[in-house]
Amino acid sequence: MSSIVEDITEAALSRWKLIRIQLLSAGVSSIVEVSLLTPLDVVKTRLQLQKNNVGNIKYQYNGVLDAFYKIYRREGIPAFWRGIVPPMLSDTPRRSFKLVMFEQLKPVFTFGDKPTVATYILAGSLAGMMEALLQSPFDVIKITQQANRKKKLSTLGVTKRIYREGGFGLKGLYRGVATTIIRNGIFHFAYLGLFSVAKDATGHQKTATREIINKTGLAFIFSWLGCFLSLPFDVIKSRIQGPQPVAGEVKYSRTIPTMVAIYKEEGITALYKGLIPQLLRQGPAGIILLLGFEFLNTIQLAKYV
């Protein structure tokens, strides 16, 4: 948080007013991020699901650039934004919730005068894990849409089909929620936790330009670190939440058995499928979300200082 935000006191601004400002800042940042970076998410999901005709695959992708080329040639530009409705509907509230919860949880885990490394790590990880409960149903819908290579597959139609076949629970819209919680906890350990630790360690810079460069670099580094650490669970999540290899048979349903199956059948590298598009997406995404959130907060809160 910037120095302007840190200077806000309850005398100048009520807690609930501050929360509303944080929600708006996070929501706008999320909309921008999703709109710009969904194509990389589509490519990542296609690569992660590419094995033994998962999702009725009729042709293979040979890397990131080949995936971009084949999707464009065979499905057109709109295919890169396939599945954008679920994240657009879910990411705004859930990311707003996550960032606000991170701010609210920091005092809970502060056992002295100032936040410590443990404060940031615990608050960041827990905020991410709580976010997963809002995120999971929309991820199931999004991945199902992104895995399908047909021209038309509506969000409402996919939602109805998933609910009809598995209901709202662990076999339907909430399948893979345990893996999502693990993935989110690991990612936000680095993305929110270690980012905040490093930001405190580097302190405020002498000029605004250096401050922006410092925070941009830190957001980029810890977005990548969180992505690398959590990607195996992202692959597992995609396998559980996406189409199964054989229609009518559930092969992937639980975290550890799915990890073991992928490792035995495809090797350790399969747990890092989609790494390149994920890194390409998470670097800019981390910058847009964290710096956008802080920038919009600063603009809105400046009048209260």
pLDDT tens across 110-132, in order?
Answer: 988 899 999 999 999 999 999 99
Q: How far apart are CA 220 and CA 240, in angstroms?
A: 29
| pLDDT exceeds 50 at position 154 | yes
Going by pLDDT thresholds of 50, 70 and 90, the confidence category of residue 10 is very low
Tokens 């092969």 sit on residue: 251
pLDDT tens across 67-84, in order?
Answer: 999 999 998 998 899 878
Confidence (pTM): 0.81
Kindly state the average pLDDT of the residues 76-98: 85
pLDDT tens across 12-61, in order?
Answer: 567 778 888 888 888 899 889 888 988 988 888 888 877 645 545 556 88
Write down the domain spans for the chain.
3-304
Nearest C-alpha neighbor of 174 from the set 147, 135, 232, 130: 135
pLDDT of residue 200: 93
Taking a C-beta distance cutoff of 8 angstroms, is the pair 191, 226 a contact?
yes
DSSP state of 272: G
Residue type, position 135, single letter: Q
CATH fold group of domain 3-304: Mitochondrial carrier fold (1.50.40)
Question: Which residues contact residue 134 at a Cβ distance below 8 angstroms, ignoring those fewer than 6 apart?
Answer: 90, 93, 94, 97
Going by pLDDT thresholds of 50, 70 and 90, the confidence category of residue 149 is low
45 φ/ψ sector (left φ>0, alpha ψ -120 to 50, else beta): alpha
| pLDDT exceeds 90 at position 258 | yes
User: Which of 4-13, 99-108, 292-301 has the weakest average pLDDT?
Assistant: 4-13
| pLDDT exceeds 80 at position 193 | yes
Q: How far apart are CA 182 and CA 258, in angstroms?
A: 14
